[in-house]
């Protein structure tokens, strides 16, 4: 059924009647299509569901195009990003085109769905801004980090699940929480992988987040556990290139204080809650998606 979503996106892009845009679109790596998968599993594969899934994936793709410009990222899913290949202007414009076409099509779906999705995009944008602002300083406030993560990543996944439930005539509450938990856990696992995966697997240098100024949950937990001199040492390393020894020190401290395990258990708790909710409403296929999320290599 995901094939139908790919075809729908393709159709929307063709409708723009611009060969340049079609060619650029074809250079975007597809990714896992997690949001589309959720929508189809919750609501089935009718045309309206396929359209909604296609729209959400177009918005998501647009947000990543803009994010790579904002993050100065030259790779996306292990391939050169559009900004790396064609510059920032092209990446921003392609994002704008996909995003606005998605919104145009959204008008025809359902008023409640339009509201849920457009509100999530506002959250997404606020989240991106807060991500940038938080990384300008050494943030040690967990609640600020969680709020940003909810906005930046969980909001659109939550909205996808809620929109699908609305379209399918299912009570949206459980699906909304399911989507939110999945989104938060997804980002938490992503943050862990930034620390635990080698640069080859990840397609970016190790501890990249910290070098970029991002103090993700494991760093916040580590800071809480370190003594005065450890804290100063960690602060001093923030947002700059790290030597091999410095990387080693951070990893050692993280192992010693078990902060990776702590972050992983937190993500797992969210997933367990999501699984339980879906089991209660008899949606075992959705429980499986949640389970897969936490079982990514960590
Ligand atoms: C990736 O985060 C970024 C997001 C999930 C959201 C980006 C949102 C915007 C740029 C604002 C919305 C814009 C539009 C056009 C809808 P990351 O940098 O932590 O993850 P990464 O490692 O995948 O880059
Ligand atoms: Mg990024």
Nearest to 214 by CA among 156, 119, 149: 149
- Across 65-93, average pLDDT: 95
Q: Give the closest residue (by CA) to ligand 1 atom 9.
A: 63
List, for residues 119-153, the tens digit of each pLDDT value: 999 999 999 999 999 999 999 999 999 999 999 99
Q: Give the closest residue (by CA) to ligand 1 atom 4.
A: 152
- Does 236 share its domain with 118? yes
Q: How far is the CA of 231 from the centre of ligand 2 (A)?
A: 26
Domain that holds residue 102: 1-109
Pocket of ligand 1 (CB under 6 A): 59, 62-63, 66-67, 71, 73, 95, 99, 121, 124-125, 128, 152-153
- Does 100 share its domain with 119? no
DSSP structural state of residue 76: E
List, for residues 145-190, the tens digit of each pLDDT value: 999 999 999 999 999 999 999 999 999 999 999 999 999 999 999 9
- Does 141 share its domain with 209? yes
- Coil, strand or helix at 55: helix
The pLDDT score that the predictor gives to residue 1 is: 83
- Does 158 share its domain with 70? no
Question: Hey, what are 52's tokens?
Answer: 């909604």
Cβ neighbors of 20 (< 8 A, separation 6 or more) are none
Q: How far is the CA of 225 from the centre of ligand 1 (A)?
A: 30
- Does 87 share its domain with 204? no
- Across 7-32, average pLDDT: 96
- Does 293 share its domain with 155? yes
Q: Which of 109, 130, 163 is the last residue of a domain?
A: 109
- Does 150 share its domain with 249? yes
Task: State the CB neighbour count (10 A cutoff) for residue 204.
Answer: 19
- Does 131 share its domain with 279? yes
Q: Is the pLDDT of residue 266 over 70?
A: yes
In angstroms, how far is the first alpha carbon of the chain from the final one? 29
The pLDDT score that the predictor gives to residue 200 is: 59
Which pTM does this prediction carry? 0.95
Pick the atom of ligand 1 nearest to 68's CA: 24
Ligand index nearest the alpha carbon of residue 203: 1
- Does 99 share its domain with 177? no
- Does 128 share its domain with 247? yes
Nearest to 298 by CA among 217, 181, 202, 200: 202
Q: What's 96's domain CATH number?
A: 1.10.600.10
Count the domains in the chain: 2
């Amino acid at each position: 059924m995901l094939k139908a979503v790919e075809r729908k996106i393709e159709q929307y892009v063709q409708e723009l009647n611009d060969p340049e845009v079609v060619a650029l679109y074809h250079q975007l790596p597809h990714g896992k299509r997690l949001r589309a998968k959720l929508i189809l599993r919750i609501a089935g594969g009718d045309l309206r569901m396929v359209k909604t899934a296609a729209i959400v994936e177009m918005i998501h793709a647009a947000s990543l195009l803009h994010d790579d410009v904002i993050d100065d990222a030259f790779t996306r899913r292990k391939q050169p990003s559009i900004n790396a290949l064609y510059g920032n202007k092209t990446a921003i414009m392609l994002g704008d085109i996909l995003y606005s076409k998605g919104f145009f099509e959204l008008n025809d779906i359902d008023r409640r769905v339009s509201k849920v999705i457009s509100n999530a995009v506002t959250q997404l944008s606020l989240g991106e801004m807060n991500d940038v602002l938080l990384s300008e300083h050494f943030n040690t406030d967990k609640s600020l980090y969680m709020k940003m993560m909810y906005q930046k990543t969980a909001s659109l996944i939550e909205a996808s699940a809620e929109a699908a439930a609305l379209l399918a005539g299912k009570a949206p509450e459980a699906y909304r929480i399911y989507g939110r938990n999945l989104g938060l856990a997804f980002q938490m696992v992503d943050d862990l992988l930034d620390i635990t995966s080698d640069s080859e697997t990840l397609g970016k240098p190790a501890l990249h987040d910290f070098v970029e100024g991002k103090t993700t949950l494991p760093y916040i937990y580590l800071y809480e556990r370190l003594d005065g001199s450890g804290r100063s040492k960690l602060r001093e390393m923030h947002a700059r290139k790290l030597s091999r020894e410095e990387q080693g020190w951070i990893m050692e401290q993280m192992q010693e204080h078990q902060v990776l395990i702590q972050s992983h258990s937190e993500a797992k708790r969210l997933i367990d809650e999501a699984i339980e909710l879906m089991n209660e409403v008899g949606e075992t296929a959705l429980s499986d998606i949640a389970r897969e999320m936490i079982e990514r290599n960590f």
